[in-house]
Structure 1
Amino acid sequence: MKTKVNKTTEAGSDIDHVSAAVSLSVKTYRKQQKLSLDELSRRSNVSKGMLVDIEKGTANPSIAILCKVAAALGLSVADIVNVSDDPLAHVIEANDMPILWQGEKGGQARMLAGTTGPDMIELWHWEMQPGEHFASPGHPQRTYELLHVAHGTLTLTLDDRVLQVRCGNAAVAKTEAPHTYANLGDTPLVFTMAVAEIHG
């Protein structure tokens, strides 16, 4: 069963709409699977207090926390922010694409589309202003990210390896280890990222 939440923002889902969607989805899927908050906390390695706040709609969970909760429920992040669906083809309206990260200087990461979990593929649009960065603690095994830079230069750090991905170039990364995306340049950075998580 898909849980849908109506969104009415013009430039993408704002934080309140994302929180409402995540709250309803996590609560619904957890109850469908007959999991207590304690058990979901144990499976996801996310504190029970954070889970309570997520279900109340008062939390602003990071992408890393959303990944952990989704994986513990056998879902994708797209499932719990409502940009996945079951039909062979469907359209996702621009104002249904949630912003899941916002940088301190105005950058943002928007999930454009995604498939249902646990095996999943996600499509993201990232914009980073000079000096902004995003750090991830790493994803489950057999997670891959494909990146294409449309403007600026992306500095991708994975373990001890640093890659400079310049405008027009692409990169492939196996992102089980902690990694960081950063804009160390003096112009805005724009890149598209596909994430594939394969369990089979």
Structure 2
Amino acid sequence: MHSTLAFVRDAQADRADRTDRLVTHRSANRLADDPSIADFRADRIAGDTNARSLADLPSAQSGAAARVDGAFDTLEYLVGVNLARLRAERQFSLDALARASGVSRAMLAQVESARSVPSIKVLCKVAAALKVSVSAFLRRHAVSGFEHLPADRASRRVSADGRYSARALYPEDGPAAAEFHELRIAPLHTEPGTRRAPGTTVNLVVSEGTLEVSVHDRRQLLATGDAIVFDADQPHSLRNPGDTEARVFRVTLNAETPPRWAVPLAGEIRNAGDTRPAASVQPI
């Protein structure tokens, strides 16, 4: 007779094999565009361990998005989807990737199904086997591996007089460590810059025309092909001194903002003779 534990293990192995076959035999593009995969990951994050085939997943779509909550759940989902996509693109089975990376098949299956977040050491091993950077597992555009930004649908900010415009060349759906814009400045127009947080750096390169950059009381004239880097927490402005439109590319590296921490009040600090656990310091 089989023990209860044996049946549980058999069911888990069967589910892992079905998922492995589906991920391995689908092309990377189909995997990227298949909403059932995303719903499957979200469902596993919610802790649903019922044996279900991917064909059954559309019935659970309505509640999947609401269940992807919390930073750690999102991280599990992101790493899992990325691993599944990268493995499919390279046509690795779970067993093949386990042999190439030295990471067990069971661990890889848990990561892909968003049941655990691997350590940095494990991620490094898997990344080396897949020939990618560790950061590839943390990309927010994970499902497709890239994000197309058509010029005709790009976000563009235009000044009231229409003589200055900035087009975003990066996804603006959330906070970004770096921002990339295309600027167009009409002849003889001056555009005041927005002062940013200390530690923010701006890098400009002139693609067409000329540009005069003023930082405090210092001015620098840039010709086509010239570049400049300056701290964006200073007063600055951009002026086109020419008689043709200037085209400039701007990269903004945002300052690192460490998390704020809730410091215990004086009355909450444990006395020397108090044996109760000290209050933990939590980010807010």
Scaled by the length of structure 2, what TM-score is found? 0.38
Counterpart in the other structure of 2:141: 87
Aligned twin of 1:108: 165
Give CA deviations for 1:82-123 in whole Å, capped at 9, x if unaligned: xxx821432122233211133635442111214665552111
Work out which structure has the larger RCO, using CA pairs closer than 8 Å and 6 or more positions apart in sequence. 1
**1:181 corresponds to 2:238:** yes
Q: Give the AA of the match of 2:165.
A: Q
Equivalent position SS for 2:238: strand
- Cα distance per residue 1:131-151 (max 9 Å; x no partner): 212112410011111111011
1: distance between equivalents of 2:223 and 2:160? 21
**What is the identity, as a one-letter code, of the residue corresponding to 2:243?**
D
CA shift for structure 1 position 129: 1.2
SS of equivalent to 1:95: helix
- Flag structure 2 segments of 5+ consecutive residues without an equivalent: 1-138, 258-284
From 129, 154, 158, the equivalent of 1:97 is: 154
Summarize the Cα distance change of 1:149–1:117 in structure 2 as closer, same or farther, 3 Å threshold: same
SS in 2 for 1:113: coil
In structure 1, the partner of 2:254 is 197
Which residue of structure 1 aligns with residue 275 of structure 2? none
Alignment RMSD: 2.4
Asked if 1:152 corresponds to 2:209, the answer is yes
Alignment of 1:10-159 (within 5 A): 86-88=140-142, 89-102=146-159, 104=161, 106-114=163-171, 118=175, 120-159=177-216
Q: Deviations over 1:150-188 (max 9, x none)?
A: 111111111111111111111111111111011122221
Aligned residue pair count: 117
Q: Is contact 2:164-2:191 (8 Å) kept?
A: no
Matched, 1:168 2:222: no
**Structure having the larger proportion of residues in strand:** 1
Q: Which residue of 1 aligns with 2:11?
A: none
Contact 2:210–2:242 (CA under 8 A) maintained in structure 1: yes
- Aligned amino acid, residue 162 of structure 1: R
Q: Deviations over 1:12-65 (max 9, x none)?
A: xxxxxxxxxxxxxxxxxxxxxxxxxxxxxxxxxxxxxxxxxxxxxxxxxxxxxx
Identity of aligned residues (%): 22
Q: Unaligned regions of 5+ residues in structure 1, if any?
A: 1-84
State the alpha-carbon separation in 2 of the partners of residues 91 and 151 from structure 1.
25
Cα distance in 1 between the residues matched to 2:198 and 2:244 = 34
Please state which structure has a larger fraction of its residues in helix. 2
C-alpha contact 2:204 2:229 (8 A) present in aligned 1: yes
Larger radius of gyration: 2
C-alpha distance in structure 1 between counterparts of 2:166 and 2:176, whole Å = 22
Query: Structure 1 109/137 Cα, relative in aligned 2: closer, same or farther at 3 Å?
Result: closer
What TM-score comes out, normalization by structure 1 length? 0.52
